[in-house]
């Protein structure tokens, strides 16, 4: 990943959840304040890769479709005209590993408090909790907007 050559880099995790949308909006506002840019990172991994002994095959995964969905998620979070300082990245791997690698050299890593699979009564989701404990840059955990 690039360093701060073009201003501070803010990394935000995107998974389509309400708190992810709020995190994207927070990251874009913050980048605007510090003259930075945003790397919006979505991770994907093949099901069963950790437990299955045969080579993993995901016949349902379509990378072009996933990139299109990521662009739609950003439009949904930011409106019809997403900020020009946002770069969408689709990366294969476990979300924690992908986000920690993407945040190397970043000014901040922004994630939602809960992903799509989060328990509503838990204070933090497993990804946000792990990132808060292991990131080498400041971490911002954003709760979903209230209706």
pTM of the model: 0.82
The pLDDT value recorded for residue 114 is 75
Please determine, for residue 2, whether its predicted confidence score (pLDDT) is greater than 90.
no
Please determine, for residue 110, whether its predicted confidence score (pLDDT) is greater than 70.
yes
Mean pLDDT of 28-50: 85
Q: For residue 89, what are the β-bridge partners?
A: 41
Sign of CA dihedral 112, 1, 31, 100: positive
In whole angstroms, what is the distance from residue 132 CA to residue 56 CA? 30
Reported confidence tier of residue 63, pLDDT bands at 50, 70, 90:
confident
The most distant pair of C-alpha atoms in the chain lies apart, rounded to whole Å, by 48
The pLDDT value recorded for residue 81 is 65
List the single range of 46-50, 77-81, 125-129 with lowest mean pLDDT: 46-50
For residue 112 the two structure tokens come to: 């939602």
């Amino acid at each position: 990943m690039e360093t701060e050559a073009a201003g501070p880099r803010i990394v935000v995790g995107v998974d389509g959840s309400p708190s992810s949308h709020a995190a994207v909006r927070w990251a874009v506002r913050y980048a605007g304040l510090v003259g930075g840019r945003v790397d919006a990172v979505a991770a994907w991994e093949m099901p069963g890769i950790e437990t299955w002994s045969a080579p993993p095959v995901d016949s349902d995964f379509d990378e072009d479709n996933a990139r299109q969905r990521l662009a739609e998620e950003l439009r949904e979070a930011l409106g019809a005209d997403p900020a020009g300082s946002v770069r969408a990245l689709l990366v294969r791997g476990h979300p924690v590993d992908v986000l920690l690698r993407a945040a190397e050299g970043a000014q901040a890593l922004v994630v939602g408090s809960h992903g799509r699979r989060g328990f509503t009564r838990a204070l933090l989701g497993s990804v946000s909790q792990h990132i808060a404990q292991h990131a080498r840059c400041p971490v911002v955990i954003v709760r979903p907007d209230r209706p």
